[in-house]
Structure 1
């Protein structure tokens, strides 16, 4: 990646960190709320609520950047030249890691918490048979729904690129409607809700990026303040689309300014993480399941003292992030070294042949 784009990679790194923290919280703290009292209960609930309030700032910017980075494929690259890199590659990783997560998390649950009962329809990783697994994957009820979305979005936005304005307006309206009338499947609900942000990046990313770079807060303080207040007010009545779009603008502006003041480095933590988002995204869910079940087991058995428990509750998401990041990066390196990176890209002989680009 060119140096001038490193700040964008840093945003990707921040987004995947927030995703790991999100899953760390939802698989750990809700189980403790009913078991703990006093300060421990307060800390657990605080992480749960913070996780909820971070929602408008996590996936929207992730999808906007994802759409922005494939603008060329949407606009100029022919369909036959998109098959392997934009469709087959993502489908391969989605299917492979869907199976690996299902097998891995099933074994982890049998080992660490055989008494724990999961709803098999809630997530593909808890499926009890192949039919349930296939059905959940088809409905995007999977921890890998981001990959499902990337695959679906690319086909939709490349197909409808001649109708940009009416389609994006429709998708923004759908985002509002789905806040009040959600779909029955949480994964598909997330896919539909975030489609507008990917579309803004894929279709209008270059223009919006230029506007962001040119915007000077000192020249428009009242307009920005009014927009922020209106966005917050709408968010409080369960209409998050405006604050999500504003967060995309603000996060990009902050990282762009930081890069202008101090050029982003290729060896910086966020750049390394941002360059390996798929590896961390696909592997972290298995690691989080094992870590949360192990810690919950230790807490339930009374093997952790009160003071140590408080310390764990305070830093658990960050510790989980560190572990998942190291495991993801380490597994990616092993994949490249031992088997040609086949865990994150199709084997060369399986890739659909295309014209040389």
Structure 2
């Protein structure tokens, strides 16, 4: 990636870190049933609420950047050339890791929490039959719903790129409507809600990027204050779309300014993570399941001291993030070295590349 684009990759790195922290929190703190009132309970609830309030700042910018990076494919690349990289490659990883997560998480639950009752229809990874798994995957009820969305979004936005303005307006309206009339499947709910942000990046990303770079927010203090207050007010009445759009440009502006002060480096942590989002995204859910079930068992059975408990409650999401990042990056290297990147690259694509060379 060219240096002038590294700051965008850093945003991707931040987003995947927030995703890992999100899953670390929801699979751990709500299931600590034996916490005493006071500091332990307060710490756990603080992480839960912080996770909730970070929602408007996590996936919208992730999807906007994802859309922006494929603008050329949407506008000028023919369908035949898009099928491999933009559709088949992502679909392959979605199905493969859907199965691997299902098998891995099922084994982990049998090992660490055999008596724990899971709703088999709530997540494809908890399915008890192949039919349940296939149904959950079709409804996007999977921890891999981001990949599901990338395939669906690309097909939709490439097909409808001649109707940009009315479609975006409609999707913004759908985003508001779904806050009050959600779909029955949480995964599809997320897919539909975030579609407008991907579309903004895919269809209007270059223009919005140019506007963002040229705009100096400090020159418009009253307007910025009014927008900030409006976005917060709407968020408090369950309309997060405005604060999500604002957060996209605030985050991008911040990283762009930081890059202008000190040029982004290819060996920076966020760039390395941002260059390997798929590896971390696909592997982290299995790792988090094992970590959370083990720690929940230790805490709920009073096997750790009070002082250690406080330390664990304070830093668990960061330890989980570090663990998932290291294992995800390590597994990607292992996949490339031993299996020709089979776990992240379709065999047909590898054969095609070999024939081409």
* TM bracket, shorter-chain basis: over 0.9
Q: How many residues align?
A: 355
Contact in 1 for aligned 2:153/2:198 (Cα 8 Å) = yes
2:14 alignment partner in structure 1:
14
Work out whether residues 26 and 48 of structure 2, in 8 Å CA contact, stay in contact via their aligned partners in 1.
yes
Q: Does 1:279 align with 2:279?
A: yes
Shift of the alpha carbon at 1:218?
2.3
Q: For residue 51 of structure 1, what is the aligned residue in structure 2?
A: 51
Q: Which residue of 2 aligns with 1:333?
A: 333
d(CA) in 2 for partners of 1:10 and 1:288? 23
What per-residue deviation string (whole Å, max 9, x for no partner) do you get for residues 31-86 of structure 1?
Answer: 11564321100000010000000000000000000000000000000000001100
Query: d(CA) in 2 for partners of 1:211 and 1:50?
Result: 31
Find out whether 1:110 has 2:107 as its counterpart: no
The gaps in structure 1 that reach 5 residues or longer are none
Q: Distance in 2 between matches of 1:166 and 1:31?
A: 44
Structure 1 residues 76 and 182: alpha-carbon distance in aligned structure 2, compared to 1, 3 A threshold: same
Segments of 5+ residues of structure 2 without an aligned counterpart are none
Aligned to 1:247: 247
Query: Does residue 265 in structure 1 map to residue 242 in structure 2?
Result: no
Cα distance change on mapping 1:85 and 1:303 into 2, 3 Å: same
Quickly say closer, same or farther: Cα 1:233–1:204, change in 2 above 3 A. Answer: same
Equivalence for 1:293: 293
CA deviation profile, 1:79-128 (whole Å, cap 9, x unmatched): 00001100000000000000000000000000000000000000000000
1:133 and 2:133 matched: yes
Residue deviations 1:168-227 (CA, integer Å, cap 9, x gap): 000000000000000000000000000000000000000000000001122111111110
Question: In structure 1, what is the Cα distance between the partners aligned to 2:20 and 2:351?
Answer: 30
CA distance in 2, matches of 1:234, 1:15: 23
Q: TM-score, normalised by structure 2?
A: 0.98
Retained in 1: the 8 A contact 2:33–2:300? no
* TM-score normalised per structure 1: 0.98
Contact 2:34 2:299 (8 Å CA) reproduced: no
Aligned to 2:148: 148
Aligned in 2, Cα 1:263/1:33: closer, same or farther, shift over 3 Å? farther
- TM alignment of 1:136-215, pairs within 5 A: 136-215=136-215
Note the C-alpha offset of 1:352: 7.3
SS in 1 for 2:285: helix
Cα distance in 2, alignment partners of residues 191 and 134 from structure 1: 17
Instruction: Report the secondary structure of 1:82's partner residue.
Output: helix
Q: Which residue of 2 aligns with 1:313?
A: 313
Question: 1:300 & 1:157 partners in 2: Cα distance?
Answer: 48
The question of whether the paired residues in 1 share the 8 Å contact of 2:64 and 2:197 is answered with: yes
CA distance in 1, matches of 2:58, 2:224: 21
* Structure 1 Cα separation of the partners of residues 171 and 306 of structure 2: 49
